[in-house]
């Protein structure tokens, strides 16, 4: 089989909110691919984000580390793609822990001073299969050459955001909702107030992400395309699949339909948008 080809594009969303907090990376051997979406602090009262917001830093550090095993000497590689990814996630989380340990902007209060963290999706191609691990809302979608496209991952924060919306309707303060979302639902594998499956995963330097990893694998072959994307793009592509619409084949087209989808769905703001397309 010919080596995979790839194309990627990452565009900042609302420039008044913060710089682009998405990141993507490809291993030098072309076997491993990663996309991360950094999670920053709450915005200031005037709508801006503080200068110490570090979601983008966490995303770039993690994405680079997640693909680093492609450059390891053969003797240092792991026996299976899953072990390969597990080791990479552990090292990426340790680097995020270092970022949080070296901060000097104030104690973590889960509001303005939240832990640096990032969602992550990493895909490894081996022996005619794609092996995917996902944390949070970063997405992987497979478009086979001779079958309809389908999502490999789900959006982990859907249940948590539904709870947050209920609390908003009950009149809870934004700070209280943010604290619950980050302190109690982030990296939570167990039930919360008798509600199961409401936790979501991120790399935040605590090691607590491990039970939240969602694993998928699927056959992949010549003519197939793999889309790895951050949440806004992933949700747009998933919506197109549900509506029976074709997926664009170029990153620029993907970003364009994502912006149109945000307008159609009346998104609260324009999100950072990143897509990495791997073509076999």
| Residue 179 and residue 270 in one domain | no
pLDDT in tens, 19-31: 788 999 999 888 9
Give the domain extent around 164: 157-200
Task: Quote the CA–CA distance of 147 and 122 in Å, as a whole number.
Answer: 23
User: Which CATH number covers residue 30?
Assistant: 3.60.40.10
- The predicted model gives 128-156 an average pLDDT of 96
Task: Quote the CA–CA distance of 66 and 86 in Å, as a whole number.
Answer: 9
| Residue 72 and residue 113 in one domain | yes
| Residue 194 and residue 70 in one domain | no
| Residue 184 and residue 52 in one domain | no
pLDDT in tens, 149-191: 999 999 988 888 787 677 666 666 666 767 777 888 899 999 8
Cβ neighbours of residue 273 closer than 8 Å, sequence gap 6 or more:
10, 11, 13, 22, 230, 232, 233, 255, 258, 259
Q: pTM value? A: 0.91
| Residue 111 and residue 179 in one domain | no
pLDDT more than 70, % of the chain: 88
Cβ neighbours of residue 250 closer than 8 Å, sequence gap 6 or more:
7, 277
Bridge partners of residue 47, in order along the sequence: none
Structural domain total, the chain: 2
The strand ranges marked E within the chain are: 5-11, 22-26, 32-39, 117-126, 129-135, 139-143, 150-151, 214-219, 225-229, 273-279
């Amino acid at each position: 089989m010919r080596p995979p080809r790839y194309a990627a594009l990452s565009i900042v969303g609302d420039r008044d909110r913060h710089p682009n907090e998405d990141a993507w990376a490809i291993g030098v051997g072309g076997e491993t691919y990663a996309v991360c979406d950094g999670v920053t602090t709450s915005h200031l009262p005037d709508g801006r984000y503080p200068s110490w917001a570090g979601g983008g830093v966490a995303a770039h550090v993690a994405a680079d580390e997640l693909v680093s095993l492609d450059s390891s000497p053969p003797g240092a590689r792991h026996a299976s793609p899953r072990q390969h990814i597990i080791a990479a996630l552990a090292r990426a989380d340790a680097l995020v822990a270092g970022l949080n340990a070296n901060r000097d902007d104030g104690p973590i209060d889960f509001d303005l001073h939240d832990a640096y963290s990032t969602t992550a999706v990493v895909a490894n191609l081996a022996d005619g299969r794609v092996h995917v691990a996902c944390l949070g809302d970063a997405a992987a979608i497979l478009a086979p050459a001779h079958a309809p496209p389908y999502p490999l991952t789900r959006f982990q924060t859907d249940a948590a955001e539904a709870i947050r919306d209920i609390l908003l309707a009950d009149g809870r303060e934004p700070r209280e909702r943010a604290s619950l979302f980050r302190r109690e639902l982030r990296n939570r594998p167990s039930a919360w107030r008798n509600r199961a499956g409401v936790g979501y995963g991120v790399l935040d330097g605590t090691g607590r992400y491990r039970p939240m990893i969602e694993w998928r694998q699927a056959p992949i072959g010549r003519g197939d395309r793999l889309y790895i994307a951050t949440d806004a793009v992933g949700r747009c592509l998933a919506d197109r699949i549900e509506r029976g619409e074709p997926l664009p084949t170029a990153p620029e087209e993907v970003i364009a339909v994502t912006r149109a989808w945000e307008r159609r769905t009346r998104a609260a703001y324009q999100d950072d948008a990143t897509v990495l397309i791997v073509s076999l």
